[in-house]
Amino acid sequence: MRIFYEPSLSPEQTTIHLNQDDSKHAIKVLRLKNGDEVLLTDGKGYFYESVISDSNPKKCLLEIVKVEKQEKNQSYSVHIAIAPTKNMDRIEYFVEKAAEFGIDQITFFTSKNSERKVLKVDRIERILVSAIKQSKKAYLPIISELQPFEACLKNIQESERFIAYVPENPEHHFFKELPKSTESIIFVGPEGGFTPEEIELAKSYNVKPVSLGNSRLRTETAGIASCQIIHLKNL
Amino acid sequence: MRIFYEPSLSPEQTTIHLNQDDSKHAIKVLRLKNGDEVLLTDGKGYFYESVISDSNPKKCLLEIVKVEKQEKNQSYSVHIAIAPTKNMDRIEYFVEKAAEFGIDQITFFTSKNSERKVLKVDRIERILVSAIKQSKKAYLPIISELQPFEACLKNIQESERFIAYVPENPEHHFFKELPKSTESIIFVGPEGGFTPEEIELAKSYNVKPVSLGNSRLRTETAGIASCQIIHLKNL
């Protein structure tokens, strides 16, 4: 069954109008009719089973018949802070892959060597919406607007904090340093890497430099690698 | 220093002509001159330090001054057999990422649900050549032409054999099943997955079905995930 994403939904609602794009898609493309079932999610953990009561292709009306919370069965969370790459395809690729592995939050930041200083978050959100629809998840990962590195450091909520850094000591591999069952964040730098000053700044916020292995990884690969490492650590 | 890839080189040689493309690149683009140093690799484990003795932009002559073998310090090998995706970009992306993490061999196969039955291996090879140049490696991963699934099964050299399969029993995660320090191969299926018959066929060749986790991964993501899992297991 096709899932529609309606971020405005809340569990108390008994009816909802699909937005114009989704109304058109449901009625004109999928050719749904009055009485047909539609599944909705608010991206905040709820699924809404509903039935079409007015198949208006501009403003399709649905009656919600059942609301169900999707339990998060994870004992850990995945938060990756990443400097968007110069090439937009590469950062979109990271987002797509992270959504496949499963991610709770993506924070975008700019640092000294960032080549990209502007980011259209709406394109990123569309990739995430499409991913939760495909994988039938009720949680949309949280994403932030692009912000300066230090602002990110100041806002860290997680107790376990890491920064991917071509290391002085390659023994400190992220996979070994990350404890199980924790809320963690890892920072992944831009193509040019972090400066030594930025690493010192991170350390002053209790962020620990870690290695992602002997190979030099591109930014988006380091992001994907970090995401998978967190999941594997929590197997 | 820029590295040139010359697969015809062998350690006994004392001189070599760069091919036409590389000659042009070295002399016209990089503006190298007689006496300038150039590093070459044969992709089979050797680096060749050389000096330009005739800066001919069509047929640049080099004298080899030192040959050095790059030791493989891996106690394990990474071999991924994968069904190319319908969308060529996706399989190229897998190849690029696998080369970043490090891979020894990629075998391409077709199975029942394969949507792609033709594959231009030369494009794949160009990606791999570019990757070993960037990461300064002397080993080019071995790649095969596209071949039928069963032919691949018959040709397996590795003792540890796996197939990524949305499992009956998700406890058999590849990360847990793979022993350390072994030569292994893992098969990753096409978009439509393997058929139950193919899984049975694989089992008859002592290939073990394993899970890559709870999320449903795209083909190229499963390939990247498998590659990283092998490296992490051998940390």
Q: What would the pLDDT profile of B13-38 be if each residue is shown by its tens digit? A: 999 999 999 999 999 999 999 999 99
The whole-number pLDDT of residue B105 equals 96
Instruction: Please check whether residue B14 is in contact with residue B50, taking contact to mean a CB–CB distance below 8 angstroms.
Output: no
Could you give the CA distance from residue A64 to residue A80 in angstroms, rounded to a whole number?
Answer: 35
Per residue in A179-199, pLDDT (tens digit) is 999 999 999 999 889 999 999
Cβ-Cβ contacts under 8 Å for A120 (sequence gap 6 or more): none
Backbone angles phi, psi at B213, to 5 degrees: 120, 180
Of the partner residues B100, B176, B215, the one whose CB lies closest to the CB of residue A215: B100
Instruction: Among A190-194, B47-51, B65-69, B73-77, name the one with the lowest average pLDDT.
Output: B73-77
User: B77-233 falls under which CATH superfamily?
Assistant: SPOUT methyltransferase, trefoil knot domain (3.40.1280.10)
pLDDT at B168: 59
**pLDDT in the model for residue A43:** 92
Q: CB–CB of A224 and B100 under 8 A?
A: no
Distance (Å, whole) CA A16 – CA A63: 7
pLDDT for position A224: 97
Can you tell me the distance from the alpha carbon of A116 to that of A159, in angstroms, rounded to the nearest whole number?
A: 29
In SS3 terms, A151-166 reads as HHHHCCCCCEEEEECC
Give the model's confidence band at A174: pLDDT under 50 very low, under 70 low, under 90 confident, else very high. very high
Q: How many CB atoms lie within 10 A of CB B234?
A: 16
Task: Nearest by CB to B135, from A216, A224, A229: name it.
Answer: A216
Cβ of B7: how many Cβ atoms within 10 Å? 12
Q: Which long-range contacts (CB under 8 A, 24 or more apart) does A202-206 make?
A: A202/A153, A202/A161, A202/A163, A205/A153, A205/A154, A205/A156, A205/A161, A206/A161
- Nearest partner of B5 among B35, B37, B46, judged by Cα: B46
Surface-to-core class of residue B194, CB atoms within 10 Å of its CB (0-12 exposed, 13-18 middle, 19+ buried):
buried
Whether residue A188 contacts residue A223, with contact meaning beta carbons closer than 8 Å, is answered with yes
- Find out whether B202 and B127 touch, Cβ atoms under 8 Å: no
Q: How confident is the model at residue A1 (pLDDT cuts 50, 70, 90)?
A: low
Q: Which contiguous run of DSSP H or E holds residue B175?
A: helix B174-177
Q: Over the stretch B181-229, which tens digit does the pLDDT of each residue have?
A: 999 999 999 988 999 999 999 999 999 999 998 888 999 999 999 999 9
A215 and B97 in contact by Cβ < 8 A?
no
Under an 8 Å CB criterion, which residues of A touch B? 93, 97, 100-102, 135, 173, 175-176, 213-218, 221, 224-225, 228-229, 231-232, 235
Structural domain boundaries in chain A = 3-69, 77-233
Q: Report CA-CA distances (Å) from B8 to B18, B62, B131.
A: 10, 14, 19
Give residue B36's identity as a one-letter amino acid code. D
Asked if B111 and B72 touch (Cβ cutoff 8 Å), the reply is: no
Answer yes or no: are the C-beta atoms of B113 and B194 closer than 8 Å.
yes
CA dihedral sign, ordered B199, B201, B204, B205: negative
ipTM, interface predicted TM-score of the complex: 0.85
Residue A167: per-residue pLDDT: 63
Angle at B104 between CA B103 and CA B108, to 5 degrees: 85
Q: Is the pLDDT of residue B72 over 90?
A: no
What pLDDT does A128 receive? 93
The rounded distance, in Å, linking the Cα atoms of A93 and B106 is 22
Q: Which two tokens stand for residue A38?
A: 């539609």
> Which residues in chain A have their CB less than 8 angstroms from residue B100's CB?
215-218, 221
Reduced to 3 states (helix: H, G, I; strand: E, B; else coil), residue B178 is: coil
Residues of B with CB below 8 A from A191's CB? none
What is residue B131's predicted lDDT score, i.e. its pLDDT?
Answer: 85
pLDDT at site A135: 78
Q: How far is CA B114 from the centre of its chain?
A: 21
Residue B93 has its nearest CB partner, among A93, A176, A229, at A93
- Domain A3-69 CATH (choose: 2.40.240.20, 2.40.10.170, 2.30.29.30, 2.60.130.10): 2.40.240.20
- Mean pLDDT across chain A: 92
Check residue A94 and give its pLDDT: 96
Taking contacts as CB-CB distances below 8 angstroms, the residues of chain B near A173 are 235
- Please, what is the average pLDDT of chain B? 92
